[in-house]
Chain A
Amino acid sequence: MEKPTWEKVLVLGSGPIVIGQAAEFDYAGTQACRALREEGVEVVLVNSNPATIMTDPDVADRVYIEPLTVEFVERIIERERPDGLLATMGGQTGLNLAFQLTKKGVLERCGVKLMGTSLQSIERAEDREEFRSLMQELGEPVPPSVIVAEVDAAVEFAESIGYPVIVRPAYTLGGTGGGIAQDRETLEKIAQGGLQASMIGQILVERSVAGWKEIEYEVLRDSAGNCITVCHMENMDPVGVHTGDSIVVAPCQTLTDREVQTLRTSARRIVDALGIEGGCNVQYALHPERLEYVVIEVNPRLSRSSALASKATGYPIAKVATKIALGQTLPEIPNAVTGKTSACFEPALDYVVVKIPRWPFDKFSEADRSLGTQMKATGEVMGLGRNLETALLKAVRSLEIKTFGVLLPEFVELSEEELSRRCQKPDDQLLFIMAEGLRRGWEVAKLQTLSRWNPYFLRALEKIAKMSDTLRQAPWERKSLLAAKRLGFSDVVIADCWQSDEEAVYQFRIKQGIQPVFKMVDTCAGEFEAVTPYFYSSYDQEQEVEPSARRKVVVLGSGPIRIGQGIEFDYCSVHSVLALRAAGVETIIINNNPETVSTDFDTSDRLYFEPLTLEDVTAVLEREKPEGVIVQFGGQTAIGLAKPLAQRGYKILGTSIEDIDRAEERGLFDEVLQGIGAKRPRGEQAATLEEALKVADNIGLPLMVRPSYVLGGRAMEIVYSPLELEHVILRALAEFPGQEIWMDQYLVGTEVEVDAVSDGENVCIPGIMEHLERAGVHSGDSIAACPPLTLTLAVQQHIGELTMAIAQALKIRGLLNIQYVIYQDEVYVLEVNPRSSRTVPFLSKVTGVPIVDLATQVILGSTLKDLGIKPGLWPKPEHYAVKAPVFSFSKLIQVEPSLGPEMKSTGEVMGMDRTHEKALYKALLASGLSMAAHGTLLVTLADRDKAEGLPLVKRFRDLGFRILATEGTTEVLKKAGIAVERVSKLHQGSTEITEEIRAGRIQGVINTTTHNKKQASDGFVIRRSAVEHGIPCFTSLDTASAWLQVLETISPSLMPLESAH
């Protein structure tokens, strides 16, 4: 059969970053686009997420940043008339879109072929019923299970096969709505949630195999039937904890060859039977005591695991999968690693890889941290080492959770009971909990029974725990030091054991001549000459890295994706690298995030997959001796390393350390502002309640309170009354007595954000972003518009001048980001970040100014003049753009969904169009908001907001919404003559509200918080049930009115005659 030829291909992205679908799809999509263009195919790309590399003009021939809905993609297809659609790079979002497009007949009508794995195959893999029957045909074991659409049926089945059972919905992300039930009661609850989470209202109830080994295989198959398994991976957490929330090791460490081959053979049979053409992920549960397994699931697409597998092995899965989709066969595709041989082989690793998820619980202290079948991590890190312990410890210190080892002081006090209880119930800290147990001398066997972890992994953990003792007993001894280093210990942990400091240990170590060498990730365990510039450190004999003689610069990445530091910073790092390469400079990236484009080995000239700590970065710099280090693009992670690196004598390129300090140290920064006569909210410090109350008197309420130390995030709070103030202050002081607490005048004004490039003299300000929510909602959680909407030209000019003055005063060389508040026509400075920011990708795409590229050249020494860039505030763009945040609340149980000064969103989308309203519409639609302009709206307003809320509610009513409200709010609305029905509050003993929500009789919720964030409070319950049922829930009137504005523009209002005159 002769192969199809492709001229133009449409690639689907995966949309905003949410829990369960993160940066891995930017990596996959970007590699796919490059692979397509390599083959001379014209590439059209659609994705609503502006913070991605794939949405860069130079990645595809045409990029559409549009909502990923059938309607929009259909129009793009109509217009572009591609002959192929590549959907398997866009995660579940991409697949679901492909389904809808097919069902709607769009693909057929426009003659678009779905590339790679066929829809039938995908359906057979994803629909549990079809999948199970296929498995039965093949004789592949699956746990006994039924698919049901009602809770009762679930219970009936469970009673028949016996508990425990697991509930898993069909068609969801990250296991939303799944869970394991030990008894009838929990089953009913979980089944309920699962049915709601499922796109097709079905759940699978299944015999639980929790406690078995969880194993994953990454398989590639081509249209000719050639089939390889690129990598197998083993979860340290046994079955029961989602693979995305599990600590994962590659390759499998505890399986005999017979077990490895049995599962491999099974995986190939399944992939073959499905007729996969591309990448596929197969998950197994393997019995720990005998050769018995069951198939857990198959993902017939690229996944988070395939990104991990690519980085773990160096095998470019997405690239090869794309070529397969083009019709090429594995033997034909050249091997990117050796440059000679073919892609048809299975990588052999001579190192161990450990991935640890990054959870958002540092931000959400109140969240339910327990881990189960529903994924909660926002990102992940990877560590490579020549033994398990090293890989594990590298991953631990890459997490940036304030520990470099596995022994946490806060657990030393835990009672034995508490400790063993927590070993039985996995949460994000299990690893550290078990390490504490081992430190106390608990037997591996004991932990094995408690946690069901494999003793092999526990033994490794024990080695690490014990090594700390060894170190304590042998301070400043070469032998113990070397042993600790070979086990992956960092100087910091060794310093703790020796009651010394990192620097002293470092100096001692260097004197002892104990330094790491670098090994290559070559996919073949050294069997062939490899050309991959991909390295990791090891305390070993042979140094493989030969530094070149070229001019070279190191760019520090941003580590794991987490709330507050997302994919935007990877975008910036990658762009900096591209700019450096264009300037003929050799580029070296150091990063530890396996999901991202920056850790693709052909992004930079050299990739060091290492933790972003002083020690690990130092080792690379010592070997490479670069001209300098760029820290501006890796977020706070990289900036944080600037000072310690400089103290070790390495050159920081761009803005100097002193100036970075002047921007970040409050006292110094105030001087800077005074110097240029710029205002900032009045603020004072207090260390006792008395002082605090006094400050409140001086400055006046409301106040923005910022304790300098709080466990588990949630630092900033807005307080409106002395009572609240007392509450907040006392809580903070209880945690850290005597700490300094900053209190700023809270300015209820318009928040504005700018990003600018400065060469120290001249400053280029591509644009100003205005937030739709008033200050008080974190800049990362607010809807931002560019160009600004309400700012007078005068104010904009003033902001431009201020920005320039600040950049000059701080002698910024490179990027800076400033947040302002406009309060009573005065411009106040909130904060200055002497680095790239979350909004850089957005602003670059809106204005077309290559912000990072310019900044990088400035950092290299050019001036804006040299670059021919007009200084000052740029004229506003022709079109309008809006950036909207995306949240993952439904996955984070117990988390307060209301917006405030602490960031909570996981991702963002962008809408662009000729008018602001249209751009806003696109952004909100892309963010997943329902656009139905009718139904029932539940309103409960805090007294503070009632007056302001009225007209808003009236307009909703005019649109045709039925208004439900709670007591107080009802009164006010009635008085204002707005038709409203009253629902009784929850604490009045009624569950009416939650019932209405569950029954789907409510289409929107406006609920502004009364600021006692008691979780018990009505508001909290209402907000939670709203987000859990996927109902729009507005906690800021500004967001609500943005939504209203859109609804009004897209739908005519209902206007009975009499009210017309």
Chain B
Amino acid sequence: MPFLVLQDRTVFEGEGFGAWPAERGEQAGEVVFNTSMSGYQEIITDLSYAGQILVLTHPQIGNYGWHDEENEADKILLKGLIVRELASGEGSLHADGSLKEFCQEHGIWGLKGVDTRALTRHIRQQGTIPGVLVVGEEDGLQYWKRVENRELNWHPHQHWVYQTTTAESYEIPGKGPFVAVLDCGAKRNILRSLQEYGFRIRVFSVTTPAEEILRARPKALVLSNGPGDPSELPEIVATIRELLPKLPILGICLGHQLLALAAGGETYKLPFGHRGGNHPVQDSRTQKATMTAQNHGYAVREESLAQSGFQVILRNLHDGTVEGMEHTTYPVFSVQYHPESAPGPEENHKIFEDFFHKIGLIG
């Protein structure tokens, strides 16, 4: 019998689907939930979930099948997917496949028949927590005992970013101005959004030194989204620190957090993160609020920005956390949420427009 066993020994039984091993095996990761009602495909293929076990709160998942063109990445580093019910995927008459097949083909361990609301409420109350998918409850309990006895580590030593970033830097042709992307695990729709402006785009690996990026003479730099704890990435922060005064920069999600760190700010772990498509963000200048797509477990501590040269202009209406900041001297701007949507509200696409307009790359 397949189980999810949380580190606090809470146990959820379910039925397996996807890429479970024949007999025994274990798949550990941080368990997080996303409340989006549609867009499971974009979420599952979002590299920011690398190494995590994802709980989707909508009770039936897989309804409209799988549409290849909607994948946000080719690599899949999601460890597990937990749903209450895996639906028949016939809702869309123009689908290419099914969620079930995708999980099988891409090594995602699926667990269905779980009271996902109970699990979600547990995470909300206890905070994000590691869990392990196992065949047999006992194996799970044993697993955490071994972790406590330091016999094994539930997460890899190397930061996930080094797997989610592109190995080789590569170029996307375009007639327009030249824009660089520092790829921490960029969602395809970020690149698509840039392509809409006809930019010539070069996507750099996070390991690329600052000089190399500067040598390419981009007109602007985009720091992409990505997985994990930004404070564990001093090298990348250093690179960005160097680039900050020299290039117009747009930071997104992890990119935003790295910018804050580069400017001397701090980040911290949210109790259970923001993951969904309905997070209201208010602009302190206009008081207007928009709905945003979010997926992050860490946030920028506002007080820590006092000396950073950054000014917070966007905040989360629910908990007041930092959602966007603007540099007072340099043309540098960043958002914590996903302006490129996919999945989620499209109303923040104009963030790109505003930024590139401001730095004169578009009319």
Contact = CB atoms under 8 A, between A and B. Distances in A.
Contact of B92 (A256, A261, A459, A544): A256
B288 A289 contact: no
Contacts of B94: 289-290
A278 to B, nearest CB: 17
A889 interface: no
Contact of A251 (B37, B117, B343): B37
Contacts of B90: 444, 454-456, 459
A329 interface: yes
B120 interface: yes
B84 interface: yes
A344 B75 CA distance: 36
Main secondary structure of the interface of A (DSSP, over half): loop
Contacts of B84: 386-387
Contact of B91 (A251, A344, A456): A456
Interface string A382-398: 00001110000000000
Contact of A345 (B57, B291, B344): B291
A255 B287 contact: no
Task: Output the residue of A264, A341, A456 with the most chain B CB within 10 A.
Answer: A456
Contacts of B287: 224, 329, 331
Nearest to A454: B91
Nearest to A268: B347
B278 A347 contact: yes
B116 interface: yes
Interface stretch (B59-67, B143-151, B197-205, B328-336): B59-67
B64 to A, nearest CB: 5
Contact of B115 (A224, A289, A541): A541
A475 B86 CA distance: 27
In this complex, the member of B70, B279, B291, B347 whose beta carbon has the largest number of chain A beta carbons within 10 angstroms is: B291
Interface string A456-491: 100110000000000000000000000000000000
Given A261-B344, A349-B37, A526 B289 contact: no
Contacts of B341: 261
A254 B42 CA distance: 16
A525 B318 contact: no
A346 interface: yes
B30 to A, nearest CB: 17
Interface in B47-76: 57-60, 63-64, 67, 70
Nearest to B275: A527
Interface string B260-282: 00000000000000001111101
Nearest to B67: A256
Nearest to A232: B37
A350 interface: yes
B231 interface: no
B342 interface: yes
Interface string B25-48: 000000001011111011000000
A265 interface: yes
B174 interface: no
A252 interface: yes
B288 A225 contact: yes
Contact of B36 (A347, A348, A526): A348
Contacts of A226: 288-289
A190 interface: no
A460 B33 CA distance: 26
A260 interface: yes
B346 interface: yes
Contact of B38 (A252, A290, A444, A529): A252
Most chain A CB within a 10 A radius of its CB, from B33, B121, B341: B121
A329 B282 CA distance: 12
B87 interface: yes
Contacts of A349: 37, 58
A348 B38 contact: no
B101 to A, nearest CB: 17
A527 to B, nearest CB: 5
B38 A260 contact: yes
A525 B57 contact: yes
B58 to A, nearest CB: 6
A258 B343 CA distance: 7
B85 interface: yes
Given A253-B91, A349-B58, A540-B118, A344 B344 contact: no
B42 A331 contact: no
A226 B290 CA distance: 7
A107 interface: no
A342 B35 contact: no
Given A224-B287, A255-B91, A454-B91, A525 B120 contact: yes
A350 B35 CA distance: 8
Interface string B276-311: 111110100001110100000000000000000000
A330 B289 contact: yes
Contacts of B317: 331, 341-342, 344-345
Interface string B121-158: 10010000000000000000000000000000000000
B22 interface: no
A524 interface: yes
Given A348-B37, A350-B57, A528 B318 contact: yes
A439 B342 CA distance: 40
B345 interface: yes
A772 B57 CA distance: 58
Given A348-B276, A459-B88, A261 B35 contact: no
Contacts of A225: 288
B85 A386 contact: yes
Nearest to A460: B88
Nearest to B120: A526
Given A350-B58, A527-B124, A344 B289 contact: yes
Nearest to B94: A289
Interface in A54-69: none
A352 interface: yes
- Which of A264, A347, A350, A386 lies at the interface centre, i.e. has the most chain B CB atoms within 10 A of its CB? A350
Nearest to A524: B35
Contacts of A290: 94
Interface in A329-385: 329-331, 341-342, 344-352
A224 B282 CA distance: 13
Given A330-B289, A386-B85, A344 B345 contact: no
Contacts of A540: 115, 117-118
A596 B289 CA distance: 32
A331 B280 contact: yes
A959 B201 CA distance: 87
B342 A257 contact: yes
Given A224-B288, A253-B63, A257-B342, A288 B93 contact: yes
A228 interface: yes
A347 B90 CA distance: 25
Contacts of B63: 253-254, 456
A386 B61 CA distance: 12
A225 B277 CA distance: 20
Contacts of B276: 348, 525, 527
28 contacts: A255-B64, A255-B91, A255-B92, A257-B38, A257-B344, A260-B38, A261-B346, A268-B347, A331-B289, A341-B317, A344-B282, A345-B278, A345-B279, A345-B291, A347-B278, A348-B58, A350-B120, A386-B59, A386-B85, A388-B60, A455-B88, A456-B64, A456-B87, A526-B117, A526-B120, A526-B121, A541-B118, A542-B117
Given A260-B38, A261-B344, A526-B124, 11 more contacts: A225-B288, A253-B63, A257-B41, A258-B342, A331-B282, A345-B279, A387-B59, A525-B35, A525-B58, A526-B35, A542-B117
Interface of B: 12, 33, 35-39, 41-42, 57-60, 63-64, 67, 70, 84-85, 87-88, 90-94, 115-118, 120-121, 124, 276-280, 282, 287-289, 291, 317-318, 341-347
Interface of A: 224-226, 228, 251-258, 260-261, 264-265, 268, 288-290, 329-331, 341-342, 344-352, 386-388, 444, 454-456, 459-460, 519, 524-529, 540-542, 544
